[in-house]
Structure formats: structure tokens, C-alpha cells
Amino acid sequence: MRLLVTGGAGFIGANFVHATVREHPDVRVTVLDALTYAGSSESLAPVADDVRLVHGDIGDGELVEKLVAETDAVVHFAAETHVDNSLADPEAFVHTNVVGTFTVLEAVRRHGIRLHHVSTDEVYGDLPLDDPIRFTEATPYNPSSPYSATKAASDMLVRSWVRSFCVRATISNCSNNYGPYQHVEKFIPRQITNVLTGRRPKLYGLGTNVRDWIHVTDHNRAVWRILADGELGRTYLIGADGERDNLTVMRTLLRLMDRDPDDFDHVTDRAGHDLRYAIDPSALRDELGWTPQHDDFESGLAATIAWYRDNESWWRPLKDASEAMYEERNQ
């Protein structure tokens, strides 16, 4: 099987490629990645001899057409992914998430190629803090930020290409991932690397916002289950019952790093900050038999801290620029 992985040099995509090389030796992987600030060939260094990396833009119709023509399936991770960046400058989000996904869809349509589109729970908007309700496949879309609005638009394009053109596609909407190779702009790696570089961790607002954490390898195992046995045209929600508020995550992280649990700063809150995300993953569990392997968040977090300690050469070149950006935004 030949597999085209867009965004395979980013956080989740690189972990997906590593797992694919390890666990599916019969699969020949090509990665298409624009190597933006969020992508790095270093993330693919451990599998460099086993995959082909094409440096290019998913909005480049000619290139995408050529690569899709020589593959059996596409797993589409490539996106602009950071909410704060989408608030500061949304244009790249429209280009990559909307036009880029359109370009991929047109190519898979022309060549009759199977597509799995990777999306986010943020398309559903947010949930109240004081009600146990969770997102399901039937929850109406209600995105809050330019990031989630462009991901919602990409999902809608996929759904309409399935219905109108019989494109063989599935969609997954996953909750917050953590694990190795995540860019230092994101919450967990930012705080870990702040401690490791002698900076104080930064909490937006009061830290009452809730995220539903899942280890990246569990997300990718679910993507493989859907790619192999998912029903065409369906949307699957991926989550691991990992709800925690940001203050709790911050304090856990500081304890695991032998710091005082109050050794952090409260900074300016995110505009339009979504309160709570929570996934009901019943369909994925009941129909495809998926269960998360990392059911202990604290040990997953400890392993992630150890990875950042051991891989400073991977994240160190990104750190100063990332913090300079946050400083400009008073965050």
C-alpha cells in the first residue's frame, strides 16, 4: 500500500509516520509538508531512510495532483493549527485549511483515491463547565476562532465531496493531543520548556478552561482503525475521557518537575477562549473496538516531560522566537 501523509512533519503527523513505519512495514509512506514554522524534517529523522519527504504546499494543485495519482490513500493532517496565531493573523488558516483541503479533495476525486481527513473537536464550539454533556457526531458545528472556523469549513467541504462526488472519505474530530514532537507554542510543551529554560510558566486567565487530553499515539491508532475499517462518509469522534482544567494540568506538571505548584504567572486571557471541550467516543469504541492505551494522564505527562528533557536539540531552536511572539501579545 502507498500512503500519502500531508503534514507528516508536524506533531501528530510525524508521530503517525513513526508508528506507520514501525507497525505497518508493508506501507510505503510519502510525506507532503510545507515545512512551515510548525513542521521540521528533524521530526522525521528517525525514519528518514524509510519515507519520502516532499517539501511542498497542499495548495499547489499540480504537485498534489501528481502525488495523489501515485498513491492508494491519503491521510490529511496538514493545517495551520494554533488558535492564538489564527487570532493574530488568520490568512494562512484560510489558505491551508480551506483552499488546501479543497485542493486535496479535487485530486482524490479525480483519481478515486481513499481519503481520511483529520480534524478537531473545536469545530463544535465549547461546552458549559457545569453540565456533563459531551460532543457527539450529532452536535451542531459552532466554531469560535478563525482556526476552528477554517477546520469546520474543511470538514464541510469533505462532507459535500462525499455526497456530491462520491469521494471515498472519512473524517475524525479529535480532542487535545499531547506527547513528543509537539511545537513549544502549545500549552503543555510551552510550560515544560519554560521550566527547562528558567522562564515562569504562563496560564491564560484563571485556568478554569477544560481540555480533554489524549496521548498522540492513541489518536493515531484511532486514525489507523478508521482508515482500515471506518465506514465511508462517516465522522468519528476521538477522545480518551481525559478532561482536566488548565490549572490542574499546570500544577500537575510543576509537581512532576519538582517545582512549587504555584510557581507560574497568570497572563492575558485568549480572546473568545473556549470554556470546555469533551468528547463522547462511544462510536469509535463500540463499532471499531478502539480503546486508548494511555489511560494514565500523569504517567503520559511524565514521559512527555522526559522526552523534552532528552531532546533539547529538537525544541531549543524554536523556543526564543516562540516566547518573543507571546511577549508581544502580553501572554
Q: Which of 122, 126, 185, 243 is catalytic?
A: 122
**Residues across the chain:** 331
Our answer to whether residue 121 is catalytic in this structure is yes
- CA 214 → CA 112, 179, 232, 325, distances in Å? 32, 9, 24, 27
Q: Smaller CB distance to ligand DAU: residue 27 or 149?
A: 149
Among ligand NAD, ligand DAU, none, what does residue 246 contact (CB within 5–8 Å per kind)?
ligand DAU
Contact call for residue 77 and ligand NAD (CB under 6 A): yes
Q: Which of 121, 185, 243, 323 is catalytic?
A: 121
Contact call for residue 57 and ligand NAD (CB under 6 A): yes
Give contact residues for ligand DAU (rule: CB under 6 A). Answer: 81-83, 120-122, 175-176, 186-187, 190, 202-204, 209, 211, 246, 270, 277
Helix and strand totals (H; E) in the chain: 12, 13
Kindly tell me which residue out of 7, 146, 230, 292 binds ligand NAD, with binding defined by CB under 6 A.
7
Assign 283 to helix, strand or coil: helix
Contact call for residue 151 and ligand NAD (CB under 6 A): yes
Q: Where are the beta strands (DSSP E) in the chain?
A: 2-6, 28-33, 51-55, 73-76, 114-120, 169-174, 177-178, 202-204, 210-212, 214-215, 235-238, 243-245, 265-267
**Cβ neighbours of residue 178 closer than 8 Å, sequence gap 6 or more:** 188, 213, 214, 215, 216, 300, 301, 304
Concatenated DSSP letters for 194-245? HHHTTPPPEEETTS--EEE-EEHHHHHHHHHHHHHHPPTT-EEEE--S-EEE
Among ligand DAU, ligand NAD, none, what does residue 153 contact (CB within 5–8 Å per kind)?
none
User: What's the grid cell of residue 27?
Assistant: 506501507
Binders in 175-204 for ligand NAD, by CB under 6 A: 176-177, 183
Q: Smaller CB distance to ligand DAU: residue 103 or 120?
A: 120
CB of 223 to ligand DAU, least distance (A): 14
Our answer to whether residue 147 is catalytic in this structure is yes
Q: Smaller CB distance to ligand DAU: residue 224 or 277?
A: 277
CB of 173 to ligand NAD, least distance (A): 7
Q: Smaller CB distance to ligand NAD: residue 166 or 176?
A: 176
Q: Smaller CB distance to ligand NAD: residue 20 or 25?
A: 20
**Cβ neighbours of residue 227 closer than 8 Å, sequence gap 6 or more:** 73, 75, 114, 116, 170
Active-site positions read: 121-122, 147
Site for ligand NAD, rule CB under 6 A: 6-7, 9-13, 32-36, 38-39, 57-59, 77-81, 96, 100, 118, 120, 151, 174, 176-177, 183
